Structure 1
């Protein structure tokens, strides 16, 4: 997939992984053909992105919050029903502090979508502007406690400090993505529309060097990296009524989004990371890809 060439003195983003908790997931929920007894311990990764010139600090996703009891009743029921067993030895705020940055120093928090294992605890990020997809507005408006059995909280993010990216904002195309915004206006970081999972789902496509390296942060575009490579197909799960469901609200849109990501893999300078990338996490846990270290750029 063709991506814009760097300009002279090109700005880019230094990207670091952040510990943000983990959850136990029935593998059949995400990978077709899996046994009902197979579970996998998934990280819920977050990331710190620092602009190479301005020093502007961006956090992408906030992982899992430690206080699960503060989540809406419908979310707590779902966590118990699927036996997710969330664990948060170190949340995003603590991961930042461990690397030398206070959460109050974060300028922008971009949330890929409003699921409980991505919104974390926004409270420590007192000075940040939050950025989400436009369709998150309606989800928040109908969230708990406005709607008693809603699977999302109306206070999941601070709405008064949130920028909702509209179609007018997402008016640029880059690589395989027809709808994107050049967030800093210098080609260093694009927020891209990544539809299919739930409303408002966005990804980040960021330069990671002045020479033309890129990293796509894929959020929940896929629950397993083998879905992106095409080795596996999307799984389904049985809900409380015995109906089979997909983790994506629109499977066809999700598959199209996955195909776009798969196309990026053909570019040797592009790296792709999803929020629940188990093999990558096992290989890099505790290493220099985690803050205060930086994920190496692909060359």
Structure 2
């Protein structure tokens, strides 16, 4: 397994802040196989702001849920109802940025881990941003609603003229992950191919959070619950709702890689998009913008 790159003198890194971006109430037995029948969980849909330590360029990873989520494609609304999801958005990512004096127009990059509704948010206000999306999601957007009446995703999900569809095929290995790209070219932030186990074009981020060896791994929906990473639970196939992952075996393989990352590198903090334990401890605290999450 290739090592994570050692830090250099005057190493660039990223300042990391969490952003409130809505909640999704879900049947927990759709997420983990150890949940009791009827048990539910109200999951935060977290977004993250990363600011480059030298250039102050701002990248937002995921946008959570949009306030007007009722305007999703009709097929997606049918799925949300079928899945019995409850959706609330007291503040979206743009509201959370405003708490620290940033506007969506100040954001240079928006990286979407994948194109599920609780991650894509409302992309329209980010008029100066370049969007970073996994290449395997492209066809779902280009053939989206209303071009295709029964499409799950909207064709205007991202502005195509400002979107980079990232193909990881030629990216080198990084730590336990087969493909990752040094996004800024200075070792401060890597975009990691999470495979298509959860969803086509799933991306994660591994970013330095200090000049001396601290990291964060933003895992998106690689795992919906920490118990999947600790081995306390497994991925279920629900008798009504099916599986939360497109390919259960591929999703489990990527989880094992994340577990290997944590076991090998104690200074890597892993944060899930729906990180209930972290959120319950830190909600309203200094880890949320305009504060920052401390580096390990």
Tell me, yes or no, whether TM beats 0.5.
yes
Distance 1:145 1:238 in 2: 31
Q: Deviations over 1:100-151 (max 9, x none)?
A: 1111000000000000110000011010000011111111122212222222
Residue number in structure 1 paired with 2:11: 10
Counterpart check, 1:248 vs 2:215? no
- Bigger Cα displacement from structure 2, 26-35 vs 139-148: 139-148
Residue 189 of structure 1: aligned partner: 189
**Which residue is 1:293 aligned to?**
291
* Whole-angstrom distance in 1 between the partners of 2:288 and 2:234: 30
Quote how far apart the aligned CAs of 1:82 are. Answer: 2.0
Q: Which runs of 5+ in 2 are unaligned?
A: none
| Cα distance between partner residues in 2 of 1:204 and 1:224 | 18
Tell me what 2:272 maps to: 274
Which residue of structure 1 lines up, in the alignment, with residue 127 of structure 2? 126
Is 2:212 aligned against 1:211?
Answer: yes
Aligned position for 2:92: 91
Matched, 1:47 2:55: no
* Structure 2: distance between partners of 1:148 and 1:268: 48
- The 8 Å contact of residues 140 and 152 in structure 1, kept in 2 or not, is answered as yes
* Counterparts of residues 198-237 of structure 1 (less than 5 Å): 198-237=199-238
CA contact (8 A) 2:168 2:193 kept: no
1:59 corresponds in structure 2 to 60
| Deviation (angstroms), 1:250 | 1.1
CA offsets, 1:162-190, max 9 Å, x none? 0011235x522211111111000000000
The alignment's TM-score, normalised by the length of structure 1, stands at 0.95
Distance (whole Å) between structure 2 residues aligned to residue 238 and residue 144 of structure 1: 29
Deviations 1:211-257 (A, max 9, x none): 00110000000110110111110122234xxxx62111111111110
Paired residues of 1:30 and 1:235 also in contact (CA < 8 A): yes
Q: Which residue of 2 is the match for residue 110 of structure 1?
A: 111
Match of 1:73 in 2: 74
What TM-score, normalized to structure 2? 0.96
Q: Are the aligned partners of 1:172 and 1:182 in contact in 2 as well (CA < 8 Å)?
A: no
Q: Could you say what the CA RMSD is over the residues aligned between the two structures, in angstroms? A: 1.2
Structure 1 unaligned segments of length 5 or more: list them. Answer: none
Q: Using the alignment, how far apart are the partners of 2:83 and 2:243 within structure 1?
A: 14
- Count of residue correspondences: 293
After TM superposition, the structure 1 stretch with the greater mean CA deviation from structure 2, 170-179 or 249-258, is: 170-179
- Distance in 2, matches of 1:85 and 1:167, equals 34
